[in-house]
Structure 1
Amino acid sequence: MKNRSRSYYRHQRKRTINRKLEIVRYAWGLNKAEDSEHPFITHPGKLSKAKLNCSCKMCKYEKHYDIPKPNVKSKTDLMQQDIKEYFYE
């Protein structure tokens, strides 16, 4: 493990906080003037370890409407094909 200075860790923390703060401001639509009471805006240090997961129906369409992912669908199709071949031969 490399010996890194405090300034390196401060820089990395500040970089991740700023990236997540931009996501909060532009993707979630929160601004300083409008939603100054939101904890991520008033205390941006909370974003250093926060996960910005979104579970809305628009972002997790497959999950909410039980649509299988493409890799799962292809595997089930192959399994169905093998079953048909086995029973019809």
Structure 2
Amino acid sequence: MARIRVKIAPLYPDGTECTHAVSPSGKPRDASAGCVGRCNYAVMCSACGPVGDPHGLRVLAEPEQRQHRDNHKAAPSPATRGL
């Protein structure tokens, strides 16, 4: 069974994911990279896709991330039988 990843993805205003490195202030590390800035944060699950609505702050997305991850942990796994 593949590992399920639940991450918080930074989004551009058009809804695409930002992959640029940013400094602690939130500004792009490389000014010439063309990053227009992040506007939202979405919880993304490798098994379920986007979870809920995007949040304006990363800290607001963390409880939803934790809850979704816990839902996967609580789901019963299929029984396997060794032969």
Shorter-chain TM-score bucket reads: under 0.3
More helix as a share of residues = 1
More strand as a share of residues = 2
TM-score normalised by structure 1 residue count: 0.24
> Which is higher, the Rg of structure 1 or of structure 2?
1
TM-score normalised by structure 2 residue count: 0.25
Structure with more contact order per residue of length (Cα contacts < 8 Å, sep ≥ 6):
2
